[in-house]
């Protein structure tokens, strides 16, 4: 994106009286890192901005600077908010549901790197070739001649390492390595960031992963692999949704399959589908079902549905939508 647009966004941030940041509905290291890096800089300028998150932040991210700025309290949208920044969120409907709570519609700035983003903002700072939304925010800093603090650098490195799986996937381009090297030079806490990406898995979590591994099925013709995790699996082992995150990235490196589907029942009564592929554009599938993502990593949620089994142990997704 142009330096002019980056400078315009920075000007709007400084002149806004009551801005609010929104992280993607699916909390991850990129959406948090990108938003908190800007929080860090603006805090140093005397602005205190809340970051709305749809659910409690997983413990592995609690080391991030300014994590206390995150809130699940929707009452922040009942105030006279005059500027909203959405981070790493390609879901236009999610942002619209939140913005509609604000008494007078504010200006919406959409900061993202997903190719499936519909450019729903009044201003769209969307760079689809960027390795992470944190890299887009880094460019915002760069075009405004801002040197990130150690705290902001840690946040930005979190975003880049999360979306590249610490430089193990196709998002690991020269920009990812270049920006990461700059952030580490600035003092980013790289070891803590890497630990957060590959955080230690508890024994109950590994047991649930084991159940998912036992359910792996490969389609004999189309050569894609599927597996699933149910609420019963998680409840029986006493683990939460965020504790099973990472399974898709782990299974992505299965050598004899080009596309992977991991289905997981959610606490909201739906089934979340995470997709990884080295051959197909899975973002097109995600977009068809109201989701989003990248060419090789995307996802969507099937609302009002569960995973059920037949007497032979085969599973399927059952819809509970009333006709």
* Cα–Cα nearest to 51, from 4, 111, 93: 111
Residue-level pLDDT at 295: 85
Q: How far apart are CA 208 and CA 120, in angstroms?
A: 38
Task: Write b or e for each residue in 28-62: b if 16 or more Cβ atoms lie within 10 A of its Cβ, otherwise e.
Answer: bbbbbbbbbbbbbbbbeeebebbbbbeeebbebbe
Q: Is 265 helix (H, G, I), strand (E, B) or coil?
A: strand
- Please give the CATH number for the structural domain made up of 3-197: 3.90.1640.10
The two tokens of residue 224 are 């894609």
pLDDT at residue 264 in the model: 95
pLDDT of residue 258: 85
Structural domain boundaries in the chain: 3-197, 203-319
Q: What is the model's pLDDT at position 240? A: 83
Tokens (6 digits) for 303: 């609302």
Say what the pLDDT of residue 120 is: 97
Domain 203-319 is in which class?
A: alpha beta
Question: 128: which 2 tokens?
Answer: 């689809």
- Whole-number pLDDT of residue 255: 67
Assessment of whether the complete model's pTM goes beyond 0.75:
yes
Which stretches of the chain score pLDDT less than 50? none
Q: What is the pLDDT of residue 1?
A: 59
User: What proportions of the chain, in percent to the nearest 5, are helix, strand and coil?
Assistant: 40, 20, 40
Pairwise CA distance, residues 293 & 287, whole Å: 8
List, in order, residues 6 or more apart from 14 with CB less than 8 Å away.
45, 47
């Amino acid at each position: 994106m142009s330096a002019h647009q980056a400078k315009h966004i920075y000007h709007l941030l400084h002149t806004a009286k009551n801005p609010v940041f929104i992280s993607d509905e699916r909390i991850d290291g990129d959406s948090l890192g990108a938003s908190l890096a800007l929080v860090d800089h603006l805090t140093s300028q005397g602005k205190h901005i809340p970051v709305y998150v749809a659910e409690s932040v997983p413990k592995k991210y609690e080391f991030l600077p300014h994590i206390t700025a995150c809130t699940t309290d929707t009452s922040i949208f009942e105030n006279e908010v005059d500027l909203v920044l959405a981070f790493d969120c390609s879901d236009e409907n999610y942002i619209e549901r939140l913005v509609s709570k604000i008494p007078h519609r504010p200006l919406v700035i959409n900061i993202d790197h997903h190719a499936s983003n519909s450019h729903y903002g009044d201003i769209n700072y969307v760079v689809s070739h960027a390795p992470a939304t944190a890299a887009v925010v880094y460019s915002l800093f760069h075009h405004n001649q801002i040197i990130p603090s150690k705290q902001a650098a840690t946040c930005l490195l979190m975003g880049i390492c999360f979306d590249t799986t610490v430089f193990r996937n196709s998002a690991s381009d020269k920009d990812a390595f270049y920006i990461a090297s700059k952030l580490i030079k600035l003092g980013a806490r790289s070891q803590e960031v890497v630990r957060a990406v590959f955080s230690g898995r508890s024994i109950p979590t590994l047991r649930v992963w084991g159940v998912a591994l036992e359910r792996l099925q490969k389609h004999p013709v189309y050569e894609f692999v599927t597996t699933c995790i149910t609420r019963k699996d998680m409840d029986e082992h006493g683990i939460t949704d965020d504790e099973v995150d990472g399974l898709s990235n782990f299974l992505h490196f299965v050598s004899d399959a080009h596309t992977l589907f991991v289905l997981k029942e959610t606490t909201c009564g739906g089934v979340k589908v995470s997709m990884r592929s080295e051959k197909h554009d899975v973002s097109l599938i995600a977009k068809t079902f109201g989701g989003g993502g990248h060419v090789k990593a995307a996802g969507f949620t099937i609302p009002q549905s569960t995973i059920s089994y037949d007497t032979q142990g085969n599973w399927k997704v059952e819809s509970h939508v009333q006709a």
